Structure 1
Amino acid sequence: MSTVLKAEPITQAAIAGLADLIEASGEADKLINQGQCGRYHNRAKLDIVDGEPGISVFKSVSFSLPFTMEMMERHPFGSQAFLPMQDGDYLVVLAEDKDGAPHNPRAFIAGAGQGVNIGRNVWHGVLCPLSDPGLFMVVDRITDGPNLEEHWFEEAYTIEK
């Protein structure tokens, strides 16, 4: 038997302290390009240790709900921003740390136009697009050194809407 997590719509308030929600919400900070473009300035903070920020493209198979989550991971030396290059929803699972392991995971649904910058050393689920083609730009730490820790659960979580 597994623990059931209900995925809720993502908001900045819900993920505060763990991640930044990157979206064009509210009033633009300023207008640029002769007033034709709103700039929503500095929506996330990159946090990189001993490496350089880089932009990669990830292409993942799509998943569906309910989703069985058997593990979470974290990156101790760099934040990781996921920016969807597609329409459609994706699953974001975040957890606090307790004694070196994920504690109290929470599941969220993010949609088109919503990026998520997961903080350095924050436990999170794997990239989990809920539609094809599962295409994302990812801004994170680029280096040959290690930057991944995984935690496998004794009992999986089932995530549903």
Structure 2
Amino acid sequence: MRLIAEPLTAEAFAPFGEVLAAPDAPGRVYIDAALANRRDHAKASLSFIHKMPNALPITSTTMERHLHSSQSFVPMEAVRWLAIVAPHGADGKPDMARAKAFLARPDQGVTYGADVWHHPFTVIDRPARFAIFMWKDGSSADDEFVEVAPFEVHMP
């Protein structure tokens, strides 16, 4: 399967979560409503990641979700990066026939909604650093990874 990355916009990404961006004018934007936590006992988890770039096209067979938590990626030292998502199929697994790939600018982050299938974090161009926020309780329900049929992501 072949996906062509499209520009990340709030409207196109809305079924999967929220696009994060700092305001254009002085001031603050709150995203509290996007930070879903379905477990009262889970604790907030803030981590930082330094990722090396992937070669294009991206080829993968892996998708993941966080059943009980949203997961936010906020650029700290960023480049272009990919947000690859898929809706649920009839079996509850990712429906890769309806998957989408979004090309994010260096000034954009995302919050994947709780229980949203997405590809592991992928940067292109050069190394990048991001902050990651989610809710965790230390159980296997924090992260679920599944194998899917091979797919490729290409730039337009």
Does the pair score TM above 0.5? yes
Match of 1:84 in 2: 75
How large is the Cα RMSD of the aligned pairs?
Answer: 1.7
Higher percent of residues as strand: 1
Q: Which residue pairs with 1:148 in the alignment?
A: 143
Task: Tell whether 2:109 aligns with 1:123.
Answer: no
- Aligned identity (percent) is 30
Mean alpha-carbon deviation: is it higher for 121-130 or for 49-58? 49-58
Q: Which residue number corresponds to residue 137 of structure 1?
A: 131
- Measured in 1, the distance between the counterparts of 2:13 and 2:82 equals 13
CA shift, 1:49, in A, is 2.5
Q: Residue 13 of structure 1: SS of its match in structure 2?
A: helix
What TM-score results when the alignment is normalised by the length of structure 2? Answer: 0.88
* Aligned residue type for 1:61: M
Runs of 4+ with >3 A deviation: none
Residue segments in structure 2 that go unaligned for 5+ positions in a row = none
CA distance in 1, matches of 2:38, 2:117: 17
Rg comparison, structure with higher value? 1
Aligned match for 2:61, one of 67, 70, 91: 70
Show the counterpart of 2:30: 41
Distance 1:8 1:91 in 2: 10
Does structure 1 conserve the Cα–Cα contact (< 8 Å) formed by 2:75 and 2:106? yes
Q: In structure 2, what is the Cα distance between the partners aligned to 1:122 and 1:92? A: 12
SS in 2 for 1:97: coil
Moved more, 45-54 or 9-18: 45-54
Shift of 1:143: 2.3
Runs of at least 5 residues in structure 1 that lack an aligned partner in the other structure = 29-36
37-46 or 106-115: which moved more? Answer: 37-46
Q: How many residues align?
A: 149
TM-score (normalised: structure 1): 0.85
> Using the alignment, how far apart are the partners of 1:24 and 1:157 within structure 2?
32
